[in-house]
Amino acid sequence: MPKVVDPEARRRELAESVWRVIRRDGLEHASVRNVAREAGLSMGSLRHYFATQSELLAFAMRLVHERVQRRIAALDLSGDPRQVVERALQEALPLDAERHAEMEVWLAFTARALVDPKLRALRDEGHSKLRELCRRCVEALARRPGLDVAAEAERLHALIDGLALHRVLDPATTTPQRVVELLAAHLDELAGQA
Amino acid sequence: MPKVVDPEARRRELAESVWRVIRRDGLEHASVRNVAREAGLSMGSLRHYFATQSELLAFAMRLVHERVQRRIAALDLSGDPRQVVERALQEALPLDAERHAEMEVWLAFTARALVDPKLRALRDEGHSKLRELCRRCVEALARRPGLDVAAEAERLHALIDGLALHRVLDPATTTPQRVVELLAAHLDELAGQA
C-alpha cells in the first residue's frame, strides 16, 4: 500500500530541494533528474509535480513570491506609518539567511527569464507586486505637496532592487545593517524628516 | 601560408559572437563549440583565445567593463559638474541598444558568478569601479554640510543598478527617457536644486 503523503508537505520538500541545488550548483544544474536525486525521490514521483525543467523553475520562483507575500500579509499594520512601511519593505530585502537565499534564486531566475519566455510572466508578476507595494508606501509617507508619487515609487523600487542586488554581490560592504540604514534614510527623506 | 589576422580585430569578432549567443540562447548555451560555430571558426582557432568556457565567459564580461570604461574615459569633462556627472552615469545605464546588450550580458554573468568563483573577481572589479564613479559624482555635486558622502554614493550606486535592472526587466514602463528623468531628479536633489 503506498504511503499517504501530505501533498503540501511534499511540495515544500521539493521546493527546498530545488533551492539547495540552485544555490550550490547553479540554475543550469537544476534538472528534474538532479532535483529528484536531491529530494531522494524517483523521477516518476517528481513528475507528478512538474514534467519539465521549465515547470520546475516556475515552481521554485512562485515559491519565492509566495514567501515574500506571506510575510508581508502577516505584518502588524498598526502603529506609525513610517515604521509599518519600513517593516514591509524590509520583507523584500535579503536581510537574513532565508531572504538571502530567495534573492539568489530570484537573481538566477531573472537572468534565465531573459531567454526563457515561459518564466517571464512569473517574473513580471513579482516585479508588479513590489512596484505596487512601493507605490502604497510612498502614498502612506509622502506629504510634500506636488510630490510625484509615480516617480517616487519607481525610485524606491529601483533603490530596493539595487540594495538587494548589492547585498548578494558585495555582502562584506552591503551588510544587513547598512541596507537597513540606507533604506531608513531614504524613507526619512520621503517623509520629510531628513 | 596562413592568413595574417589582426588579433585585436579577431578578439572583437569573437566578443560579438559570444554576445550574440548569450542574448539569443542564454549563457548556458555559450559553450566554446557554439561560439566557434557562431563565429565561423574551428574549435582549434577559438582555443587560441580561450581554452575553457569559464575563460570565454570571463573574456566577454571583461569586454563589458572595457566598453563602459572607454566611453567614460572619452567624456568631455569640461562645463557644469552637474551635466558632466549626469553624462558619466548615463554611460553605465542601458539607454541604447549597445548598452542594453551589455546589461543583459552583465545580468547573465552576475547570476552565473554566484556559482562560479572564477567569475567573481571580474564581477567585483566592475562593481568597485561603478561604486568609485558614484563616490566621485557625489563629491562633485553635493555641497550640503554634513552630507554622508559614503552613504550617498551607496544609495546612488544602488539606484543606478536598480534602474538598469528595471530597464531590462520592464522596458515598456522603464523607458530610456524615464531612466534619464529619474536619474536627473535624484542628482538635482543631491545637488540641492530639487
The string of pLDDT tens digits covering residues B94-106 is 999 878 888 888 8
Res. A89: pLDDT tops 60: yes
C-alpha cell at A92: 523584500
CATH for A53-190 is: 1.10.357.10
Contacts of B112 in chain A (CB under 8 A): 26, 111
Residue-wise pLDDT tens digits, B29-38 = 888 899 999 9
- The pLDDT tens digits for B40-54 are 989 888 888 878 777
The whole-number pLDDT of residue A2 equals 58
pLDDT recorded at residue A156: 98
CB contact under 8 A, A154 and B107: no
Higher per-residue confidence, A25 vs B135: B135
CA distance A11 to chain B (A): 25
pLDDT at position A4 is: 65
Tell me the CATH number for domain B61-190.
1.10.357.10
Best-predicted range by mean pLDDT (A7-16, A65-74, B23-32): A65-74
User: Closest Cα partner for B182 from A134, A111, A84?
Assistant: A134
CB pairs under 8 A between A and B: 113
Distance CA B26, CA A148 (A): 38
Q: At A77, is the pLDDT very low, low, confident or very high (cuts 50, 70, 90)?
A: confident
Give the CA distances from residue A4 to residues A1, A9, A36, A48, A131, in Å, rounded to whole numbers and listed in that order. 9, 11, 19, 15, 41
Structure confidence at residue B135 as a pLDDT band (50, 70, 90):
very high
CA distance A76 to chain B (A): 28
- Look at A23 and A182; give whichever has higher pLDDT: A182
| Percent of residues, chain A, with pLDDT higher than 70 | 96
Q: B96: closest CA among B168, B160, B176, B161?
A: B176
CA atoms within 13 A on the CB side of B194: 20
Q: Indicate whether B149 pLDDT > 70.
A: yes
DSSP code for A193: -
Give every CB contact of residue A173 below 8 A, 6+ residues apart in sequence.
A166, B154
Query: Are B151 and A185 in contact, with CB atoms under 8 Å apart?
Result: yes
pLDDT band at A193 (very low <50, low <70, confident <90, very high): low
* Identical fold between A1-51 and A53-190: no
pLDDT at B50: 77
Note the pLDDT of residue B133: 94
Say if residue B160 is exposed, middle or buried (CB neighbours under 10 Å; 0-12, 13-18, 19+).
Answer: buried
On whether the CB atoms of residues A56 and A50 are closer than 8 A, the answer is: yes
Q: Is the pLDDT of residue A192 over 70?
A: yes
Question: What is the mean pLDDT of the segment spanning B55-66?
Answer: 81
Q: Is the Cα torsion angle B169, B172, B176, B182 positive or negative in sign?
A: negative
Q: What is the pLDDT of residue A177?
A: 97
Mean pLDDT, residues B147-158: 96
ipTM of the modeled complex: 0.87
- A158 contacts on B by Cβ (under 8 Å): 158-159, 162-163, 165-166, 182
Test the A interface: residue of B53, B61, B115 with most A CBs within 10 Å: B115
pLDDT for the residue numbered B139: 93
CB B165 within 8 A of CB B179: no
Residue A148 phi, psi (nearest 5):
-85, 95
If one looks up domain A1-51 in CATH, what number appears? Answer: 1.10.10
**Using the beta-carbon criterion (under 8 Å), do B170 and A24 form an inter-chain contact?**
no
Q: Could you say which DSSP state residue B81 is in? A: H
Rounded distance, CA B121 to CA B62, Å? 11
Computed over every residue of chain B, the mean pLDDT equals 87
> Domains of chain B: which residue ranges?
1-51, 61-190
B114: helix, strand or coil: coil
